[in-house]
């Protein structure tokens, strides 16, 4: 049997959104996208893998449950890594023919809709790359699992290039800057209580591609310029520019959802309340100090600099009261500055119904996937789940 390889991989939240595929099967996007990779110490996926001549079939356990290995996306990732290993001659043919066991879990609730597939597939592919000793870039293989997963293969700020080749070999992620470049950058994820059944990203982007004229406009007229501008803002650590582009791009993505036919919406009344308070807060500051962005769900991700965190957490706490205030803020330790009377009047905000924001995760920009050797593998020495 091979040794057990265990890897943790991060979540990423896009500031220029990926929405729409040029190729459904190869998951090649219609436009470039840009994201920040978030600290694995706060949120991560963990995956253990091993192969053995004794295993009778490929098997996978996800978040404590045995799942089928037949999913085409999973198969494509495994095939992609194996053919790369064969091309690089990194392991012998016998090793490549052995069956595999995969065990994976997220340290955050999958149901919260927090980019779990991005972290999960980046983790799987990074673990497979270590197991099969693949040395080259594997972002184009992670992409086959879930488009956004290719950006979680790197830390810091990441640019996913749409590419032009039909086979997708140039549709890869590259790092813009590493996680040490802008150490003050923080993210607050506001987990919004929302029980509606959502249109999946995969389905939503298909409807948009087929029906939204705004999507075509966005791809040709907006994204190329915004991508270049936000990459520059990141390099220059120009928060105001970064924030403006981030918010406009999130708004445009959600406008496309409404421009689709039939339309669908991910933002709820609580999401709109968050948008509203961020704009009011920025107006009072006289410049953008907080940026919101929303994926295919109602949860907000706020990007802001470290110095602004206590004040913004104070506003969030008074605007979105919690019935469990002691566990309202999770993740990195944070100070909360109570909102003073002046700010309260200026914001003219009325508290929402209790628990409309369930909790907040405080995190920062972090590194890409890494191997863990601290004895916390999810498979035992014989290659079976530690917690069956
Ligand atoms: C709104 O990567 O989940 O979060 O490629 O079909 O698996 P598939 O979609 P997925 O889409 C993510 C969409 C988004 C924007 C983004 O992350 O860029």
160-201: pLDDT as tens digits:
999 999 999 999 999 999 999 999 999 999 999 777 778 999
3-state percent helix, strand, coil for the chain, nearest multiple of 5: 40, 25, 40
Helix extents (H) in the chain: 72-88, 93-97, 116-131, 139-142, 201-211, 213-217, 223-236, 239-259, 269-285, 309-319, 341-347
Q: Is 264 exposed, middle or buried (CB count within 10 Å of its CB: 0-12, 13-18, 19+)?
A: middle
Q: What is the pLDDT of residue 124?
A: 98
Give me the DSSP letters along 171-184: --EEEEE-TTSSTT
Q: What is the pLDDT of residue 197?
A: 72
In short, whether 152's Cβ falls inside 6 Å of ligand 1 is: no
Is-contact 8 45, C-beta < 8 A? yes
Q: What is the pLDDT of residue 344?
A: 85
Nearest to 17 by CA among 256, 238, 298: 256
The model carries a pTM of: 0.97
Start and end residues for every CATH 3.30.230.10 domain found in the chain: 5-178
**pLDDT at residue 240 greater than cutoff 90:** yes
Pairing of strands 329-331, 357-364: parallel
Residue 94 tokens, joined:
């016998």
Q: Which helix (H) or strand (E) holds 301?
A: strand 300-305
Query: Which DSSP letter does residue 137 get?
Result: -
Start and end residues for every CATH 3.30.70.890 domain found in the chain: 185-364
Write out pLDDT tens, residues 15-31: 999 999 999 999 999 99
Pick the residue whose CA is nearest to atom 5 on ligand 1: 147
Mean of per-residue pLDDT scores for the chain = 95
Q: What is residue 93's three-state secondary structure? A: helix
Distance 297 CA to ligand 1 centre (A): 11
C-alpha to C-alpha distance for 128 and 79, rounded to whole angstroms? 10
In short, whether 201's Cβ falls inside 6 Å of ligand 1 is: yes
- 111 pLDDT band, cuts 50/70/90, is low
Question: Mutation test of ligand 1: which of 147, 168, 294 has the most ligand atoms closer than 8 Å to its C-beta?
Answer: 147
C-alpha to C-alpha distance for 39 and 156, rounded to whole angstroms? 9
Q: Is the ipTM of this complex over 0.90?
A: yes
Pairing of strands 5-9, 370-371: antiparallel
Q: What is the pLDDT of residue 135?
A: 96
- 112 pLDDT band, cuts 50/70/90, is low
Nearest to 11 by CA among 155, 196, 140, 134: 155
Pick the residue whose CA is nearest to atom 7 on ligand 1: 146
CATH label, 5-178, candidates 1.10.1240.10, 3.60.21.10, 3.20.20.70, 3.30.230.10: 3.30.230.10
Question: How long a stretch of residues is the chain?
Answer: 388
C-alpha to C-alpha distance for 190 and 184, rounded to whole angstroms? 19
- 115 pLDDT band, cuts 50/70/90, is low
Instruction: Give Cα 242 to chain centroid, integer Å.
Output: 18
> What is the mean pLDDT of the segment spanning 103-121?
80
C-alpha to C-alpha distance for 153 and 165, rounded to whole angstroms? 21
**pLDDT at residue 116 greater than cutoff 90:** no
Write out pLDDT tens, residues 264-300: 999 999 999 999 999 999 999 999 999 999 999 999 9
In short, whether 27's Cβ falls inside 6 Å of ligand 1 is: yes
Write out pLDDT tens, residues 131-146: 999 999 999 999 999 9
**Fold assignment, 185-364:** Alpha-Beta Plaits (3.30.70)
**pLDDT at residue 230 greater than cutoff 80:** yes
């Amino acid at each position: 049997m091979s040794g057990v390889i265990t890897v943790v991989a991060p979540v990423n939240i896009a500031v220029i959104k990926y929405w729409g595929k040029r190729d459904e099967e190869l998951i090649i996007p219609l436009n470039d996208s840009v994201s920040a990779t978030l600290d694995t110490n706060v949120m991560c996926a963990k995956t253990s893998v091993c192969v053995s001549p004794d295993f009778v079939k490929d098997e996978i356990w996800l978040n404590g449950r045995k799942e089928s290995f037949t999913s085409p996306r999973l198969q494509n990732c495994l095939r992609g890594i194996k053919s790369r290993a064969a091309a690089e001659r990194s392991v012998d043919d016998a090793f490549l023919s052995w069956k595999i066991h995969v065990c994976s879990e997220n340290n955050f609730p999958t149901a919260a809709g927090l980019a779990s597939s991005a972290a999960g597939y980046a983790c799987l592919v990074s673990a497979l790359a270590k197991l099969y000793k693949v040395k080259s870039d594997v972002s184009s293989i992670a992409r086959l699992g879930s488009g956004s997963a290719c950006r979680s293969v790197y830390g810091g700020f990441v640019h996913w290039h749409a590419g032009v080749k039909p086979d997708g070999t140039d549709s890869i992620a590259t790092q813009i800057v590493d996680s040490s470049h802008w150490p003050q950058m923080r993210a607050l994820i506001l987990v919004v209580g929302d029980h509606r059944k959502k249109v999946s990203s995969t389905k939503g982007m298909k409807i948009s591609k087929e029906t939204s004229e705004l999507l075509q406009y966005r791809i040709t007229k907006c994204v190329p310029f915004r991508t270049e501008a936000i990459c520059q803002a990141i390099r220059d650590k120009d928060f105001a520019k970064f924030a403006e582009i981030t918010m406009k791009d999130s708004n445009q993505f959600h406008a496309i959802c409404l421009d689709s036919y039939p339309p669908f919406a991910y933002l709820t009344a609580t999401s709109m309340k968050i948008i509203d308070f961020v704009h009011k807060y920025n107006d009072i500051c006289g410049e953008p100090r907080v940026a919101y962005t929303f994926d295919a769900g109602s949860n907000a991700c706020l990007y802001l600099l470290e110095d602004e965190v206590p004040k913004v957490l104070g506003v969030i706490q008074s605007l979105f009261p919690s019935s469990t205030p002691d566990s309202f803020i999770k993740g990195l330790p944070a100070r909360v500055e109570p909102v003073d009377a002046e700010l309260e009047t200026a914001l003219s905000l009325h508290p929402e119904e209790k628990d409309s924001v369930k909790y907040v995760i405080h995190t920062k920009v972090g590194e890409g996937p890494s191997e863990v050797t601290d004895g916390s593998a999810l498979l035992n020495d014989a290659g079976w789940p530690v917690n069956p």
